[in-house]
Structure formats: C-alpha cells, structure tokens
Amino acid sequence: MFTIDDLADRLGGYLPPEEILQVKRAFYYAEQAHDGQRRRSGEPYVTHPLAVANILANMHMDHQSLMAAMLHDVIEDTGITKEALAHQFGDPVAELVDGVSKLTQITFEDKAVAQAENFQKMVLAMSKDIRVIIVKLADRLHNMRTLGALRPDKKRRIARETLEIYARIASRLGINTIRVELEDLSFQAIHPMRAERIKRAVTKARGNRRSMMRQIQDSLQKCLDDDALVGSVVGRQKHLLSIYRKMRDQRKPFVEIMDVFGFRIITDDVDTCYRILGAVHNLYKPVPGRFKDYIAIPKANGYQSLHTTLFGPNGMPIEVQIRTREMEAMANNGIAAHWLYKAGQTERPIGAGSHARAREWVRGLLEMQRHAGNSLEFIEHVKNDLFPDDIYVFTPKGDIMELPGGATAVDFAYTVHTDIGNSCIACRIDRHLAPLSSTLESGQTLEIITAPGARPNLAWLNFVVTAKARSAIRHAIKHQQRTESVQLGRRLLNRALGAFETSLEELPEPRMAAVLDELELKHEDDLLESIGLGTRMAYAIARRLLASTEPASAEEVATSPHSGGPIVINGAEGMVISFARCCYPLPGDPVIGHLSVGKGIVVHRHDCGNLQELRDDPDKLFALEWSQQIDQDFPVALRLHVETRRGLVAELAGLVTDADANIERIGIEERDARLSIVNLTLAVHDRVHLASIMKRLRNLPHVGKITRVRS
C-alpha cells in the first residue's frame, strides 16, 4: 500500500525538505479530518487524497498543489471551513481547495443543474489560479481508476461527464498523459464489452507486430546514426478510444487501423528536428499532404512537434512525430510543465507559453459565463468549445489565429475581440470581399470591416461554430431586444398617459415606485420592457400609475389608442417592430399596429383581413404612420399571369434588376400548356417604387394580369 513516506521519497527528487514537510503536515491534517470515513471500496478515505497527490507528483507539481490535493475533500466532506484551512496552511492552499470543492450548501433541482453550477464555480476559481483545474483533473483520474465499486448506471454517468468535459479540458491544457487515461477509462466504463474486445485484439496484434516494429525502429535509428543526428526512436502505442473512434468514424476494420506503425523521435533542439525530418524523408518516401509543422505553428494548448507519414517497407504507412525533449515534456504534462522550472530543472519555465495560453482560454470561459443565460447554457458552450479540429488563419498584420474547423469570418471577428464581432459588416479573405458566412481554410488572410452602430444579426447563429461567438451574439441580441423594448414601451406608455394629459416624466417618483412594488418589478425599465413586448397593456399601466381604479369610460377606451398621435415608424426600429408577411406593408400604405405578446408591434396594412378579430380591442391596435426619411427595402408579394415561354424567368429577373429592386423569392405554377402563374417576392423602397416596377412588368408582351398579394 502506497504511504505518505513513499510519496515523500518521490518528492525528494525535486522539492526542498521544508516544502515536503508542509505536504506531510497537510496529509496528517487530512487523515485526522477524514478519520472514520471510508470509500465505497472499503479503504480508508485518506487513501484517495494521497493517490491524487501522487498523480500530481508524477507531473512535478509544486508543494501548494500537493497540499491542496491532500485537503481537497476536507471542506466538502467534513466540518472544517475554508477559513480554518487558510489559518493552518495559508490563503493560496485554501483557495485551491475551495475551488475544487462542490457547492454542498445549496440544493439544486436536478443533477444536471448541480454539475453545471459546480463547474461554473470551478471556472471562476481557475481564473484566479489555473492549478485548480490540475488538482481537479488528478482527482477525477483517481476516481475513474476506482469506479469499480459503483453501480453501472453511476459509472456510465461519471464516465460520460469525464469524456465530455474533463478529458477535453486535459487535452485543451496539453496534459496528454491524463487525457489518454481518462479517455480509456471512460470508454471502458461506457462500453465495457467493446473495450475488452479491442484490448484483447491489441495485445494479440502487438505480439504479431513486434518483429516488424523492431525492424522499422532499427532502420530509423540507423538512419539518424549514419547522418550523425542525435535522437532516440521509440514506438508509439495507440490507446483504446483512439482505435475505437477510427474504426467507427472511418469505417475501417481493426486490422487496417493496426496496420499503421507509429514512432516518436526525441532530440535535443529544434534545428535537429528539421534535419531529422529530411533524413527520414530520404529513408522512406513521405505521403503527400500528410506533413504538419506544429513547431512553427503550435496548437492552442502549446503542443509542438513535426508530424509526417511515410511509405514504409512493403508500402505500409508509418506515422512519425519528431520533437525536442522540452516539447515531449509539454506534450505529456502541458501547463503542468510550467511549474517544473521551480525545482531548478530548467533555466526557464518550460510551459510558460502554454500557461499564458491557458489563462487566455480561461478568460474566454469567463466571458462565455457572463454572456450565458444560466449555468446549463454555459456548460453547453464549454462542451461545444472543446475540442474541434483546428485551422490557422492570419490577420492582416501576419498574426496567427487558431479557429475550429468550419469556422466563419464572424467566428474570426469574435475571436479577435467581442466588440469587433458585434460591429462587423463585411470581410476580405485574401484581399477579396467575401460574405461573413464564408467558411475559412488554413492559410487564409482575413480582414474584418466594421462600422459604428452596426449590430449582430440573429441569422449569424445559423453558421457560427465557436462557443464564444454564439454566446456573444445571443448576449448582444438579448441586450438589443431589451433596449428596443424599453424604448417602445416608453413611447406606448407616454401615449397612454397622454389621454390623461400627463407623461412619464411628470409622474411623481413615489407613484412609480409603488406600482413597481405592486407588480414585483425591480426597475422602471423592467416595466417598460414588458409593455414594449406586449405582456402588459400600456393603458392599464397608465391608469394604475395615476392611481385610478375606476373602469375606463367608452369614450376614453375609444380615444386611448390615438393619444399623443400615431407612432412614427421608419423600418429600422429593430426587433420590437416587425412587418407582417400576410399583407406586406410598404411605405405609403395606410398601416396599423398590432401588439403581439413577446414580439412587440407587428405592422399590418390597414385593410389586412387578419386584423378583423382585433378591431374591437383598441388596446391591442395602434395608429401608425410612416416616417418621411426611410432608407431601406421592404418585401412585397406579386402574382403574375403569364404565357409560358422559354427564358421567362431570366427576362423577369433582368427587368426587376434594371428597376433597382431585388428578387427574394420566385415560384411558378403551371395552369396549362400555355398559361402559368408566377409568384414573385420583391424587395422595394416604397409604393411609388412598386408602381414603377409593376408598370414595367405590364409592358412585357407575355405578361397579362398583375396583382399585389393581399391576405
């Protein structure tokens, strides 16, 4: 059984004696705190924190991380407080322990919400000290190693969470040794039979492949020796989940997956890496398009290496990774390598760059957390952000930006900065104008064009792929909708108050406060927003604000919608004024507004048949009039009776374009061999523009009757 003395002996290799004593003191404190507690397996509970500390010792983590590992369940499972830990071991250790601890004092409605809230709490702690997640990963790894004592359903639930969140975070932070083991243990818990069959097949195949592996390894080593290149060649083992995913995704049998031989060549410096690459390419022919230089362009988690695939003996593929010893340490331990230098093992922090990138990633998580509606939405964003296939694009200044595969120009804009994403209107890809929805490819240079006052488009959510872009767009649209709803609500309430010859500005503040209190609202803007969205009637609120409890007279009801005159619209009000698709109102048409719950005002033509049932409810209808300054296009539907002939659609499209209009939709219904009906949806400026287009269409010899579609 592994003991604290065994751990102390291991720590002696890289920690000074006084720090080892502090780790031992933390162990004895935890042992006393957990006295009498046992794990499901029957072992004393303190064996778990000791094992977690041992995992961190393998990564040469600092003494405070090891102390936090010893104490990480003390706050959660015993009566000891964070303040008591801070008094005994200092604030940094207490903060680390608190960051890993679950929210035990709050009762949640279900497990999903509890997990999401706990993860959110951990992210906030990570923003202060990134070591929180390293301790948590070690804790989760030991829990996965000891899943055997749990029920099968609980095993699967924990394994899925591990696979979706913690294994991906380990990968994102470059801690490959933990990632691989978490993935394999999760796979074995979720699919035990599949894992066992693959494990047996791997063991069998490894025996059959041993001589071939040794032959290729010897030839690679001889190639290095002949060219006087310093480097050691080691065989690379595939892990279970990787094999399973390739079999499933590439639809390949096990034999084809195992036919690929993998090797890693470790050398001393970057220059030798490239010289070794040339040597192995001389030994075996490289497979075209399979070379990747992660030294020049590292992955987001700091991973660096040269990857190449070769045609080996008898044409069998050989995958080779070439890296320095420092890169090997980074590949295995990721940001944990940042603490190696403190033990004096290197002159500079190995993982310093990775540590900075990790902190940048955590800052991104915090931004997502602020924009998310709740903890469940936040954790979905995190899942989506972990772990895409990456592409690399360049800014106009030559800086490299990493994005997930399938990312668009909008994703790039939000990656640069949220404000740039919110105000982008166009982009140039390799100096050519391109749509914002364009899917990016590695190597492209991207320039984002912004404009003051520009706002995110709801349609962007249909094509963005990064969690940061998605959460920022949703946040901006929610804010935009609230702002516009408040503005509309203010206009509607002032019109209603106009019937009583007063306005919102003239009301005494205590009266507004009393009404907000009655309605259980915190701010005046909350009330105005609900009016703008149609969930409260402006006239009813006006009477309540004036402390009038008498029912409105017929004359008041009849005149209230017209108080203060019609609402002026210019088509650019945003999300709280929309235009009905049943009657397609245009500037110049007599219009009326219908207050729809959750949408605000929907503009209809005055004679729209769909408003018939609402005409007796004046509180839901509003007099509207068009602004004199309108600078946008509006859709309108036309129905054309035409003679069927070749080239008709092209002729119509050309005429509409010449008339400075756009065709949004076109459909043709054949009545018989001679006659057809063309349904056109155009974007036009106003009624005058539409009349001009209809006149041009009537002049076509094959066009008969033209009508504007009415509901």
Q: What is the pLDDT of residues 386-441, one digit of tens each?
A: 555 667 788 888 777 878 888 899 999 998 888 999 999 899 998 888 889 889 88
Q: How far is CA 37 from CA 74, 84, 104, 563, 598, in A?
A: 11, 20, 18, 73, 54
Task: State the pLDDT confidence band at 549, using cuts at 50, 70 and 90.
Answer: very low
Cβ neighbours of residue 56 closer than 8 Å, sequence gap 6 or more? 65, 66, 69, 134, 135, 138
- Identify the CA nearest to 350 among candidates 325, 322, 326, 323: 326
| Burial class, 199, CB count within 10 angstroms (exposed 0-12 / middle 13-18 / buried 19+) | middle
CA atoms within 13 A on the CB side of 669: 7
pLDDT at 20: 93
Strand partners, 603: 579, 593
Q: Strand 317-324 relative to strand 306-311: parallel, antiparallel, unpaired?
A: antiparallel
Strand 446-450's sheet: what is its strand order? 432-434, 424-429, 446-450
45-82 pLDDT per residue, tens: 999 999 999 999 988 888 999 999 999 888 888 878 88
Active site members: 76-77
635-692 pLDDT per residue, tens: 899 999 888 888 888 888 888 888 888 888 888 888 777 888 888 899 888 889 999 9
DSSP letters for 516-527: HHHTT-SSHHHH
- Identify the CA nearest to 304 among candidates 277, 275, 273, 282: 273
Contact 681, 653 (CB under 8 A): no
Average pLDDT over residues 534-548: 74
Task: State the pLDDT confidence band at 383, using cuts at 50, 70 and 90.
Answer: low
Is residue 451 predicted with pLDDT exceeding 70?
A: yes
Task: State the pLDDT confidence band at 335, using cuts at 50, 70 and 90.
Answer: low
Is residue 555 predicted with pLDDT exceeding 60?
A: no
Average pLDDT over residues 17-21: 93
Distance CA 68, CA 63 (A): 9
Distance CA 355, CA 350 (A): 9
What percentage of the chain has pLDDT greater than the value 70?
Answer: 82
pLDDT at 352: 56
Burial 604-622 (b: 16+ CB within 10 A, else e): bbeebeebeeeeeeebbbb
Contact 402, 428 (CB under 8 A): no
Cβ neighbours of residue 136 closer than 8 Å, sequence gap 6 or more? 99, 100, 122, 166
pLDDT at 280: 94
CA atoms within 13 A on the CB side of 95: 13
DSSP letters for 178-242: HHHHHHHHHHHHHSHHHHHHHHHHHHHHHHHHHHHHHHHHHHHHHHHHHTT---EEEE-PPPHHH
308-333 pLDDT per residue, tens: 999 888 778 889 999 999 888 888 87
In this structure, of 116-130, 418-432, 548-562, the range with the lowest mean pLDDT score is 548-562
Task: State the pLDDT confidence band at 358, using cuts at 50, 70 and 90.
Answer: low
Average pLDDT over residues 276-303: 88
| Burial class, 97, CB count within 10 angstroms (exposed 0-12 / middle 13-18 / buried 19+) | buried
Specify the 3-state DSSP secondary structure of 592: strand
Q: Which amino acid is at 558?
A: A
Q: Could you report how far apart the first and last alpha carbons of the chain are, in Å?
A: 82
